[in-house]
Amino acid sequence: MSDSVSSNDRIRLEQGYRPGAIADVVGAHIAYYAPAWGFGLQFESKVATELCAFLQRYDPARDLFLSAIGPDDTFLGSITIDGAKANQAEGAHLRWFILADAARGAGLGKRLVADAINFCDARQYGKIYLTTFAGLDAARHLYEQAGFRLTSETNADTWSGGNVGEQRFERIRPGADQ
């Protein structure tokens, strides 16, 4: 672990778009998923296109785009809540949760997930969902610790064109009528 992430109190969390944020998030995704899972152009294009569309309609009252920045201004991770359908049956969508290699294992992922859930709970979003795939065990552990439960699995692969299936996890806010 690099010295820049050895202490979470030296990491600042920035909400909303900042110059370079799209490149940081897309770059971190492809830096992890290309070597680990063989994801390429289809995945990188999907992340970039959907993230750009989200940021074009971003509303800080409804949505969260949170970047973790190290003391030397390096990108360490991000998490997003797309609240466009949060008050509908679909729920708020947790997206683009990623950590840079140097930030893994330092507790930053747990902090980002907690901040995203707190954001949703403060807005009384009844449900949060995310889609992922089997094999991302560390992320799944964080999700389940935070109250998410696996609700469905399919062989459909919207990320890589055939290498993985899809899982859906949901978290119902305690006390929410769902």
The enclosing domain of 79 has a CATH number of: 3.40.630.30
* 158 in any annotated domain: no
Domain for residue 132, yes or no?
no
Per residue in 79-127, pLDDT (tens digit) is 999 999 998 888 999 999 999 888 887 789 999 999 999 999 999 999 9
The arithmetic mean of pLDDT across residues 141-160, rounded, is: 87
Name the more confident of 10 and 15: 15
Looking at the domain assignment, is residue 106 inside a domain? yes
Interval 70-90: pLDDT, tens: 989 999 999 999 999 998 888
**Could you tell me what percent of the chain has a pLDDT over 70?**
92
Asked if the model's pLDDT at residue 1 lies above 90, the reply is no
Residue 169 lies in a domain: no
Overall number of domains in the chain? 1
Is pLDDT at 2 greater than 50 in this prediction?
no
How many C-beta neighbours within 10 Å does residue 115 have? 17
Other C-beta atoms lying within 10 Å of the C-beta of residue 55: 16
What was the pLDDT predicted at 3? 39
The one-letter amino acid code at 106 reads A
Give a yes or no: residue 87 inside a domain.
yes
Supply 107's token pair. 């507790």
Kindly state whether residue 142 falls inside one of the protein's structural domains: no
Full residue range of the structural domain in which residue 27 is found: 3-125
CA distances from 144 to 139, 140, 147, 148 (A): 9, 6, 5, 5
Answer yes or no: is 42 within a domain. Answer: yes
Strands 92-99 and 127-132: parallel
Say what the pTM is.
0.89
Tell me whether residue 156 is in a domain: no
